[in-house]
Chains A and B, each alone.
Chain A
Amino acid sequence: AQSVAQPEDQVNVAEGNPLTVKCTYSVSGNPYLFWYVQYPNRGLQFLLKYITGDNLVKGSYGFEAEFNKSQTSFHLKKPSALVSDSALYFCAVRNQAGTALIFGKGTTLSVSS
């Protein structure tokens, strides 16, 4: 069965420092991986995806993610964090049917000024 794990409930970084939000996955076959961000009382906003190709994927708002097949990881990164990046981040994998998304439990990112 497809699954996604986000091992950290919360990540705290200072503004201007690099950030990493971790995600590991378990799939049969090739993974379709996604990162979404959620602000309070809002839906999810798409950040980036990995389908195939380059392992380093660049997305919205300066975020990027590195697909590592051997470690089955898809960590979200940003070179310099902003206070406005503070939000709830979800990693997701497409299910086997290729329809719905299976989400990790989410990681709260807190960027302090």
Chain B
Amino acid sequence: GAVVSQHPSRVICKSGTSVKIECRSLDFQATTMFWYRQFPKQSLMLMATSNEGSKATYEQGVEKDKFLINHASLTLSTLTVTSAHPEDSSFYICSASGRQTNQPQHFGDGTRLSIL
């Protein structure tokens, strides 16, 4: 099946640091990639949707200057958490889909971000 690789799996860093998370589709062309945030024992909250070569669409309440998303190719999207603070600590998950909307999204394994 389709594989999405997310890296790193875990990040621990100091407050004020910027952190970049990569999401790669390994065996298919991901025309659309999604970034989710998940709090403990809660559902996934969609943060933004990005289409290859265009600006990401952010959900209401998500700061686009705080969470920078780049989708420069059909196999790679990155999420950069800028000047991270403890409240940004969370589990971030990316997913990717191809052109057909009736196909499932494929998820990365997530990144556990801990800001000290």
**By the criterion CB–CB under 8 Å, are B42 and A43 in contact?**
no
Question: Cα distance A49–B53 when bound, in Å?
Answer: 29
Residue of B nearest to A88 (CB): B41
Is B46 interfacial (CB-CB < 8 Å)? yes
Q: How large is the interface on B (under 10, 10 to 19, 20 to 34, 35 or more residues)?
A: 20 to 34
Residue of A nearest to B46 (CB): A100
- Known contacts: A44-B95, A45-B107. The answer to whether A103 contacts B102 by CB under 8 A is no
Per-residue CB contact flags for chain A residues 73-98 toward chain B (1 = under 8 Å, else 0) read 00000000000000000100010001
Chain B residues near A100 (CB-CB < 8 A): 34, 46, 49
Is B24 interfacial (CB-CB < 8 Å)? no
Q: Which residues of A contact B (CB under 8 A)?
A: 32, 34, 36, 41-46, 49, 51, 90, 94, 98-106
